[in-house]
Amino acid sequence: MNGAGWIDPLVSLLPGIDGFAWPALLLALPLPWLARWLLPPRRGTGAALAVPFGARLARVQGGTAVATRGGHAPWLAWCAWVLLCVAAARPQILGEAVQPPQAGRELMLALDLSGSMSEPDMQLGGRPVDRLTAAKAVLADFLDRRAGDRVGLLVFGRRAYVLTPLTLDRETVRQQLVDSVVGLAGQETAIGDAIGLAVKRLRGGADGSATDPDQPRVLVLLTDGVNTAGLLDPLKAAELAADAGVRVHTIAFGGEGSLSLFGFQLPMPGAGDEIDEDTLRGIAEATGGRFFRARDTAELAGIYAEIDRLEPVERPGEAVRPRIERYAWPLGGALALALLAFAWARRRRA
């Protein structure tokens, strides 16, 4: 922290100071003394009057000058200069040791926005809501617990799109989640393309943002349907994910469906069977992940809590001691001494 071994003796003389950020600036300490002794004295350039008693007058002036110079207390200016040099070198102290968290995961969230996500067969706060609204509420709570992770958001319908690349800014991810609506990516469901795009971004996306190869990479995919669109077969996409070291947790979300009749929601038995649970289970098994089935909001919240437990967020990082600046104290002292020296000189002249 000191930057040079020669400064250690000086640091030991300053109580409460652990070092300097710019110790080389302390080399300026002897500059006023060097200037005083090495530079030639200033000579007057005004007109002079030759008198026969010039030598005696010079002796009188010399004696007066010596007396006056001693009365201006130059030691105040010297002390101010020393403090100014110390402030310029930026004295610092070490704060208490802290252990910052390290990111536990590279986590991508994939959310189905196909037309079936508008099915109003969920309950949230005692009122009926559609599947997407319920999923958003649970995902928002999940994001609150992922401090330390780099999280990205991907949505898919007929096509798959990345709304938020991997980032530590969870507030941006949450805002993009709020703005997502059914049909934004099309009315169909491209599960395979969603997995393929997520793997590409977790490996190092087209935007040039590389992921940390030492960090676990996880995809959490939520859907309420079957693969009806896209170019990539879901199980083939799962193989690509496994080769890239991406673990995929799949969530089949949806109730039994409902039919709106005169303002009432009537259940439709068999509507929930449209979810391709076998394919989602195969994707999870091929990548070392888990398959989950959620039929209501409470089950979905429990699933994300379980994923939160399976994928720990943070581990303690290397302990560090922050550097705290203390230049303000010597700088204030230098200013006070300079003002005192100026006031002293004016008082002597008065």
Tens-level pLDDT at each residue, the chain (350 residues): 444 554 555 555 555 677 788 888 888 888 888 887 887 766 655 555 566 655 665 666 554 444 444 444 577 888 888 888 888 888 888 877 776 655 567 899 999 999 999 999 898 888 999 999 999 999 999 998 888 788 999 999 999 999 999 998 999 999 999 999 999 998 999 999 999 999 999 987 444 454 566 678 999 999 998 999 999 999 999 999 999 999 999 999 987 654 444 444 444 444 444 788 999 999 999 999 999 999 999 999 999 999 988 887 655 556 777 888 888 888 888 888 888 877 877 777 66
Domain edges within the chain: 5-37+55-97+321-349, 102-316
* Predicted local confidence at residue 53, as pLDDT: 58
* Predicted local confidence at residue 142, as pLDDT: 92
* Predicted local confidence at residue 207, as pLDDT: 47
84 contacts 330 by C-beta, under 8 angstroms: yes
For residue 137, how many other CB atoms are within 10 A of its CB? 18
pTM of structure: 0.59
* Predicted local confidence at residue 3, as pLDDT: 46
* Predicted local confidence at residue 265, as pLDDT: 47
Question: Exposed/middle/buried for 55, CB within 10 Å: 0-12, 13-18, 19+?
Answer: exposed
* Predicted local confidence at residue 166, as pLDDT: 92
Instruction: Report the alpha-carbon distance of residue 236 to residue 249 in Å, rounded.
Output: 16
* Predicted local confidence at residue 65, as pLDDT: 40
Check if CATH label 3.40.50.410 holds for domain 102-316.
Answer: yes
Give, as one character, the DSSP assignment of residue 336. Answer: H
Residue whose C-alpha is closest to residue 239's, from 204, 206, 288: 288
Give me the phi and psi of 57, to 5 degrees please: -65, -40
Dump the DSSP string for 4-67: -GGGHHHHHHSTT--EESSGGGGGGTTHHHHHHHHSPPP---S-----TTHHHHHHHHHHHHHH
Half-sphere exposure of 19 (CA within 13 A, CB side): 12
* Predicted local confidence at residue 338, as pLDDT: 81
Question: 3-class SS at 348?
Answer: helix
* Predicted local confidence at residue 128, as pLDDT: 92
- Per residue, what are the HEC states of 70-125? HHCCHHHHHHHHHHHHHHHCCEEEECCCECCEEECCEEEEEEECCHHHHCCCEEEC
